[in-house]
Amino acid sequence: MSDAELAASLGFRSEYADVNGTRLHYVIGGAGDPLVLMGGWPHTWWEFHKVMRPLAEHYRVIVVDIRGMGASAKPETGYDKKTMARDIHELVRSLGYERVDVAGTDIGAMVAHSLAANHPDVVGRLALLDIPHPEESLYALTMLPQDHQPFLWWFAFNQLTDLPQILLEGRVRPLIDHLCDMMLVDKDAISDADREIYTRAYDSPDAIRASNGWYQTFGQDIRDEKTYAPLTLPVLGIASEDNPFLEPALRKQTAGFRFERITGAGHYLVEEKPDEVVAHLVKFFG
């Protein structure tokens, strides 16, 4: 199924916008105050498909394929989160909104934080799921696995140029399966059909290169983060059961925040515990 067909199956509409020198794909539906959702690697807007309809009962929901993701353009540059935040700022303005609420997970959470830091006029409330904006503690991650420590091997793999495209083109599905099986408590929470959608989205050299770009710009993101004052808008952090990163980062990166932890789930919270995610977001956004 195409993005348009998938969106229509949820009662949403697939659209495009030319912003900040690139082209973004987004899916829109529902009625009410605008709520922007952004996902991460290796997913697309479809990551939110379980929560879109219930959220659309309360909000005008806009789910964005961030720069380099899914049906959005995959330019050679611009994958630092500050540039990607400007993409979203211009998209919001092109849709006629002065202010939106924003929720992001994984790479989308990094972009969401940068949007609030660089364009505070456009963000009313901010929800970050499982991942904070890159900051200097990333340099302390180890290359070898240790007991009771996260082993984020793909952070290093995605730093490579050219080799990921050579290794993964035509072979993305095993990577999708590996990450799902590693990061889900309920391995069936992301179905075979869902995994095929993500496989098709990433199974090209340009898509692989673009997703590498999200990680290759972490150094610039860390330098940018050092220039940001703590966020003063309302912030909600939602973390998986064993996540050690989000709460400490929010203590440094915000003037105050609410924090919720979802038990019995891994990193892909939106797909594994959609009802709990919706409940937390509706309570926070109002």
Q: Could you report the per-residue pLDDT of 76-111, keeping only the tens digit for each?
A: 999 999 999 999 999 999 999 999 999 999 999 999
Q: How far is it, in rounded angstroms, from Cα 104 to Cα 11?
A: 21
In this prediction, residue 147 carries a pLDDT of 82
Give percent helix, percent strand, percent coil of the chain, each to the nearest 5: 45, 20, 35
What domain range includes position 99?
A: 3-285
In this prediction, residue 96 carries a pLDDT of 97
pLDDT tens-digit series, residues 150-203: 789 999 999 999 999 999 999 999 999 999 999 999 999 999 999 999 999 999
Strand order, beta sheet including 13-19? 13-19, 22-30, 59-65, 33-38, 100-105, 123-129, 235-240, 258-262
pLDDT tens-digit series, residues 19-75: 999 999 999 999 999 999 999 999 999 999 999 999 999 999 999 999 999 999 999
Number of folded domains that form the chain = 1
pLDDT at position 280 over 90:
yes
pLDDT tens-digit series, residues 264-275: 999 999 999 999
pLDDT at position 123 over 80:
yes
Q: Which two tokens stand for residue 148?
A: 């009771």
| 216 CB-near residues (< 8 Å, 6+ apart) | 79, 158, 159, 161
In this prediction, residue 284 carries a pLDDT of 98
In this prediction, residue 93 carries a pLDDT of 98
In this prediction, residue 216 carries a pLDDT of 98
Give how far Cα 233 sits from Cα of 9, 42, 229, Å.
Answer: 35, 29, 12
In this prediction, residue 143 carries a pLDDT of 84
In this prediction, residue 118 carries a pLDDT of 98
In this prediction, residue 150 carries a pLDDT of 78
In this prediction, residue 142 carries a pLDDT of 86
Best CA proximity match to 186, nearest among 132, 246, 262: 262
In this prediction, residue 227 carries a pLDDT of 98
In this prediction, residue 209 carries a pLDDT of 98
Q: How far is it, in rounded angstroms, from Cα 141 to Cα 156?
A: 10
User: Annotated active-site positions, please?
Assistant: 106, 215, 267
User: How confident is the model over 237-241, as a mean pLDDT?
Assistant: 96
Give how far Cα 226 sits from Cα of 49, 101, 125, 255, Å.
Answer: 34, 24, 22, 15
Beta bridge partners of 260: 238
In this prediction, residue 121 carries a pLDDT of 96
CATH of the domain at 32: 3.40.50.1820
What's the pTM value of the predicted model, to 2 decimals? Answer: 0.97
Beta bridge partners of 22: 19
